[in-house]
Amino acid sequence: MPEIMDRIKEANRAVTTGIDDSAVKHWVTVYIMGKGYRVPADITIMQAMEYAGYRFVRGAGCRAGFCGACATVYRTAGDWRLKTALACQTRVEDGMFLVQIPFTPAEKPSYDITKESLDGTPLLKYFPEVARCVACNTCTKACPQDLEVMDAIQAALRGDLEEVTELSFDCIQCGLCAMRCPAEITHYHVAQLARRLYGRALPVPQHVLARVEEIEAGKYEEGFQKLLSMSREELYKKEQREKGGLATRDASRVTRNGQGEG
């Protein structure tokens, strides 16, 4: 593992530090919108596109696999399959043909969550295409989060809000499932409605109600206003101090022999 990480670090140097190309030891060729580019090996698709001179106006967000903005469709040389991924967390391969998808054309119906019944009936009411699911599992194969998307849609068909919520909880709404679905289901919109209905049906915990009362009473107003008045430099320094404090506390929990204190 250290050898692999060292290779990745070395390959990234030209991108992250602007070092001369002659320092890069490993190269691959990728094709972006049909044009070939020689890029350092082991960097991400997003880094490779930027290395090739592309600037992300859209299709880039958190760069950490959480927002779903960088949905990418690609093929590799000698493989007929169309593959899907997030550009920020997928590393380039030699002979990779890339197509960046700025958004997924999937309309979301309008609804008032407070006026809907708290069972599974609104799912088919607003998303009748769910009934067209042929259980091909293409949506699951397309998911970069490795979620059981097809199982969630089958649960939606049964009206099982809890099951849909559990199976789709880590969905980042990248849209790749809907893009690949032959039944034209917008899985992430279905799951979002299911989670909203299920959440509304649950009782509000007492600690949440207590915190809302504190906020409404103005308990945190002074601290909030203080944060708003701070400059960007002050906020950045405060964040760094807090991170340093966390690192120090975490380090203090490890004994000299490298074992945790328990």
Instruction: Please tell me the predicted confidence (pLDDT) of residue 64.
Output: 81
Spatial strand order of the sheet with 27-32 comes to 35-40, 27-32, 96-100, 71-76, 83-86
- How much is the mean pLDDT over the chain? 83
Spell out the domain ranges in the chain.
2-100, 104-232
Lowest mean pLDDT among 91-105, 182-196, 214-228: 91-105
Taking the domain 104-232, which CATH number applies? 1.10.1060
CA 63 to chain centre: 9
Average pLDDT over residues 99-110: 78
pLDDT in tens, 130-184: 999 999 999 999 999 999 999 999 999 999 999 999 999 999 998 899 988 999 9
From the candidate CATH numbers 3.40.50.20, 3.50.50.60, 2.40.10.220, 3.10.20.30, the one assigned to the domain spanning 2-100: 3.10.20.30
Helix (H, G, I), strand (E, B) or coil at 19: coil
Average pLDDT over residues 45-73: 85
- DSSP assignment string, 61-97: SSSSSSS-TTEEEEEETT----EEEETTT-B--TTEE
Token pair belonging to 63: 């760069």
Distance CA 212, CA 206 (A): 10
**250 pLDDT higher than 60:** no
125-129, 201-205, 228-232: range with highest mean pLDDT: 125-129
pLDDT band at 60 (very low <50, low <70, confident <90, very high): confident
